[in-house]
Structure 1
Amino acid sequence: MALMKVEGLRKVYADGTVGLEGIDFTVEAGEFIAVIGPSGAGKSTLLRCLNRMVEPTEGSIAFQGDETIGAKGRKLRRIRREMSMIFQGFNLVERVSVLTNVLHGRLGYMSSWKGALGLFAKSDIAEARRLLARVGLQEQTHKRADELSGGQQQRVGIARALAQQPKLILADEPIASLDPAASETVMSSLHRFCSEDGIACLCNLHQVDMAKKYASRIIGIHKGRKVFDGTPEELTDEMIHLIYNKAPQESVRPNDEPADTARKETA
């Protein structure tokens, strides 16, 4: 059974903007998938639909065999804690320590009152320290998050995601705001930890070279539609041009003949 199976996923916003149109794909355990496409293609909408930060309009999302659309209460909480997220803007609490930010990855396993009071278990604190050492930030443990560089903050975000002990990490443009050196550090760290821990990852990227370097599989999205799904080797220059400029009516496999269409631009 696939870790995640997405069928017919569609998102239409209140103003009529189509964010996603009939997206289908599966994610296997431990798979590292890059999602590429131009700005406004629907990449962020896709990730946010998967964890229900955005409510899909139609379709099915099965995660570990459980349907996520319509899930509420404890079921939704369980799904979300096993599907952690890394954000483009880091999404850290800047005024608190690096250690506390990593510990926030454990909130889904705690009662609301313990979480509000910051009553973390000793084992969670020890694990958070271990994760900070793992991402090379053991010397920054007690600094405020806003004292760190962008690359360091994103590594805190990775440690926080790992603290959830997820089966799947959703990384939304994790290197978009970083310089090339920091980008390389963040991507190599994310890829290595997912590989070592057997965690699947869906990573939105603008950088095609990074997608080819780190992903075992690449999904291309254009104007809300999946237009490519294949290996890095199959992502030819022609396919890259297809993803970023043309977009056929249906998904294509490598060696298919693309057909041009025009669709309303998405937000």
Structure 2
Amino acid sequence: MAALLEIRNLKKVYNDGTTALQGVDFKVDRGEFVVVIGSSGAGKSTLLRCINRLVQPSEGSVMFNNMDATKASHSQVRKLRREVGMIFQGFNLIERVSVLTNVLHGRLGYMNQLMGTLGMFSKHDIEEAKKILHRLGLHQQIYKRADELSGGQQQRVGIARALSQQPQLILADEPIASLDPVTSETIMNHLHTICQEDGITCVVNLHQVEVAKKYATRIIGIHKGTVAFDGKPDELSDEVIQHIYQK
């Protein structure tokens, strides 16, 4: 069976000359929970953003479900972003609208533009969004404005929005970077459990090695835009960790 995601010789040089990725190669099979670790500026965020075309790579290919995302047409990118949910470090919610509406925005890729603009969501979508929020322990926050929530609650809304897309793949870019350890554990537990239960493949960027070891089926270490490690959590030695995080 073909891998769900295959990165081939991925390179990214920004207009200011910054080289973020220098030939990254790896595959992700369906059902894997992959954690990408590395220091700030190693290229982790650029990597995730190249996968869903928020960033256009300079070279290489991103094969998702046998489609090359780097050569995707406008309609293919729309389809790609439907099937790839994204969870952001800064939550990326619309603060002035309700939790429920934020989650329903995950359905916009499936709607025509007018219905989406008018917020005319189907009864089925609304019921599904409520179920997801219930699963994430947010049933009492459904009608609150997003900016009334704590950081941990906002990140759970971010997860719920990604889940409402019914994605095959979830990308999470430093989802616990701004959260305290207890809240971070709650977020990672939710994300890991739901992905396992629903058979969703997940690629998560994290700083914290111990958190990566706890949840990952596989860890990829990025150092200065290249893959410095790719293996099981128990294969990650102190020497390799030192190399990944050295400046």
TM-score interval (norm. to shorter): over 0.9
1:212 CA drift (Å)? 0.2
2:246 aligned counterpart, secondary structure: helix
Q: What's the RMSD between the two structures over aligned residues?
A: 0.7
Q: 4+ residue runs of structure 1 moved beyond 6 angstroms? A: none
- The TM-score, its normalising length taken from structure 1, stands at 0.91
Show the 5 A alignment for 1:215-230: 215-230=216-231
Partner of 2:62: 61
Q: What amino acid is the match of 1:187?
A: M
Mapped partners of 1:73, 1:238: distance in 2: 44
Partner of 2:151: 150
Mapped partners of 1:61, 1:55: distance in 2: 11
Is 2:153 the partner of 1:124? no
Mapped partners of 1:127, 1:69: distance in 2: 32
1:231 CA drift (Å)? 0.5
- The TM-score, its normalising length taken from structure 2, stands at 0.99
Partner of 2:172: 171
Is 2:51 the partner of 1:73? no
Partner of 2:88: 87
1:176 CA drift (Å)? 0.2
CA deviation vs aligned residue, 1:30-71 (integer Å, no higher than 9, x gap): 100000001100000000000000000000111001111121
1:166 CA drift (Å)? 0.4
Mapped partners of 1:59, 1:130: distance in 2: 40
2:140 aligned counterpart, secondary structure: helix
Show the 5 A alignment for 1:223-238: 223-238=224-239
Partner of 1:257: none
Mapped partners of 2:56, 2:128: distance in 1: 33
1:76 CA drift (Å)? 1.1
Partner of 2:35: 34
1:74 CA drift (Å)? 1.5
Partner of 1:251: none
Q: What amino acid is the match of 1:230?
A: G
1:137 CA drift (Å)? 0.3
1:94 CA drift (Å)? 0.3
Partner of 2:3: 2
CA deviation vs aligned residue, 1:190-225 (integer Å, no higher than 9, x gap): 000000000011100001110000000000001111
Mapped partners of 2:50, 2:70: distance in 1: 9
Number of residue equivalences: 246
2:34 aligned counterpart, secondary structure: strand
Percent of aligned pairs with the same amino acid: 65
Mapped partners of 1:13, 1:27: distance in 2: 26
